[in-house]
A and B are shown apart, each in its own frame.
Chain A
Amino acid sequence: MPFPLTDAAAWCRLLPFAVIAALACGAARAETVLVSNEKGNSISVLDAASLKLIRTVPVGQRPRGIVLSRDQHTLYICASDDDEIDQLDLDTYELKQPLPSGADPENFALHPDGKHLYIANEDNSLVSIVDIEQRRVVGEVAVGIEPEGIGISPDGRWIVNTSETTNMAHFIDNDTRKVVANVLVDSRPRRAVWTADGKEVWVSSEIGGSVSVIDPETHAITHKIKFEVAGVPKEAVQAVGIAITRDRKLAFVALGPANRVAVVDAANYEVKKYLLVGQRVWNLAFNHDESRLYTTNGVSNDISEIDVPDLRVLQSVPVGAEPWGVVVRP
């Protein structure tokens, strides 16, 4: 039946839906994209709907890894050259008192309890455990040389840390804080990302240009995903950032100087597509409903926005100098 445009009653019936749609749009608009600028020593804050830069907040020296607090009101920032974790209040955009960390914190993860940060200290081969409330380092775990990526299992039981020079993924038991397994992966492992169901850990290798899929129960590599971009030299294909959808249907892998993000079918581990983004794409982050993926492009000093259902790059916008980490605040 055609919709009568002149029928006032019909319009009234549609009104609740319009209100819900407007509210939904409003909710989407409320998202903010937060980007750490490694060389700019700042955090860029962008409106997710328009991707307009709202503000740039100066923070500590060489900010790299960034993580949202569980209540999403605080941004934790690895201020690598200050050897501390900055805390940015996301309501006032003012820095709170920093948290301690080991030397040269590069990357970290928040434990599902929301109270502990697990920090990879690149210079002293340690993973530091920081109690946020007590504001002190409560534990240290010795790992391989140049620890880099940190991934915590969804149940909080296992910590996976990668070490760049040792080329290993170290499985740490959170209860005993001991390394229980070392998995040799391809050269210079970077990120370690758990699937939402906790059944797989994906570890990217920068020099190896691959992603190793590890079974956390057997600590065996079950699949190795290789990347080849037509026309791009092999050595330029360097796997770094990983993002896996919650339903484990799709995974995205940032390929560094190849300037591409690989789209992987996470069910059969086949590469579906390569998406052209900015130069030296480094880290990735989904928005709340996983309809968008944001990439930091370290050399071209911008971020790219990817439409996840359409697998298409929508736009790239400039941020600060050498963007490194990215998170989306709902």
Chain B
Amino acid sequence: MSPAHYGRCLLGVVEREGLRFINQRGRFVAALVRPLVWLLIFATGFHFVLGVSIIPPYRTYVPYEVYIAPGLIGMIQLFQGMQSSLSMVYDREMGSMRTLLVSPLPRWYLLVAKLLAGVIVSVLQAYVFLAIAWFWEIEPPAIGYLAVLPALILSGMMLGALGLLLSSAIRQLENFAGVMNFVIFPMFFASSALYPLWRVQEASLPLYYICSLNPFTHAVELIRFALYGQLDWVSAAAVVAALLVFMALAIYGYDPGRGMMLRRAAAE
């Protein structure tokens, strides 16, 4: 296999993901409407939740809308990661995945290509959201728009890898809806996306520990700091570690000789 083969494969997967995204306009709109509803309705209602404490990376008091913006970008990436994986389940049911899996390229590479394709879409969504949010006075410094790119790629990959791992364990499309409910909502609410962790700590110490261990919290904090041109090393390390673990397990899960694919085949 030459590098050209690898490149062609990656392009093919990215193109397919892009086409799917472009052709499903409703999906694009839905992906933006969800965080915008949170920003414009939920954040307005909770306008006074913050403004009583200065939390890094902010250097002054920020309105609630500004606080939850990174969490909503994380939400976009979480949903995109899950939806990209959902398409894997769909592909498997429809049979198109077989075409991909009979490719002579290594299985791990196919999964990474799939992951990158999903990340590109989620990064685009995040930037469109940031552009709209600018009109609601969510105006990070100019450097933040650049600095957030690697953070978005890293967090997008981590959440996408989690989606891949989940999709490897799911037999049917119907099951996936349940997993989304059991994964997306707990991850989102038990994180720093909607409220700073010191607030959670005041209310419940066990919940604070859960939030601190939640990889989504670290994805959100990585994005939050990057938007202000800063690197949160702890969150970056946590996101990388979670990415490696999820990806390794997903590759294992998709290995026909060892992982969950074998067990599933046996069950069928």
| Contacts from A to B (Cβ < 8 Å) | 230-231, 259, 276-279, 300, 304-305, 312-316
Contacts and interface: CB of A to CB of B under 8 A. Distances in A.
Contacts of A279: 52
A276 B44 contact: no
A316 B52 contact: no
A249 B52 CA distance: 31
B61 A277 contact: yes
**For this complex, into which size category does the number of interface residues on chain B fall?**
10 to 19
B179 to A, nearest CB: 38
A231 B61 CA distance: 16
Contacts of A231: 44, 47-48
Contacts of B60: 276-277, 304-305, 313-316
A304 B61 CA distance: 9
Interface string B45-64: 00110011010000111110
B44 A313 contact: no
Lowest 5 CB-CB distances: which A-B pairs, in order? A315-B59, A316-B60, A231-B47, A313-B60, A315-B60
Nearest to A259: B51
A316 B47 CA distance: 19
B61 A313 contact: yes
A280 to B, nearest CB: 12
Contacts of B44: 231
30 contacts: A230-B47, A231-B44, A231-B47, A231-B48, A259-B51, A259-B61, A276-B51, A276-B60, A276-B61, A276-B62, A276-B63, A277-B60, A277-B61, A278-B61, A279-B52, A300-B52, A304-B60, A304-B61, A305-B60, A312-B139, A313-B60, A313-B61, A314-B59, A314-B60, A315-B59, A315-B60, A316-B54, A316-B59, A316-B60, A316-B61
A26 B44 CA distance: 43
Contacts of B54: 316
Contacts of B139: 312
Interface in B36-86: 44, 47-48, 51-52, 54, 59-63
Nearest to A305: B60
B143 to A, nearest CB: 15
A46 B146 CA distance: 33
Contacts of A312: 139
The winner among A230, A259, A276, A314 for most chain B CB atoms within 10 A is: A276
B238 to A, nearest CB: 28
Contacts of A315: 59-60
Given A277-B60, A314-B59, 11 more contacts: A230-B47, A231-B47, A276-B61, A276-B62, A277-B61, A278-B61, A304-B61, A312-B139, A313-B61, A316-B59, A316-B60
Contacts of B48: 231
A84 to B, nearest CB: 35
A136 B139 CA distance: 53
A315 B56 CA distance: 11
Contacts of B61: 259, 276-278, 304, 313, 316
Nearest to B47: A231
The winner among B47, B51, B61, B139 for most chain A CB atoms within 10 A is: B61
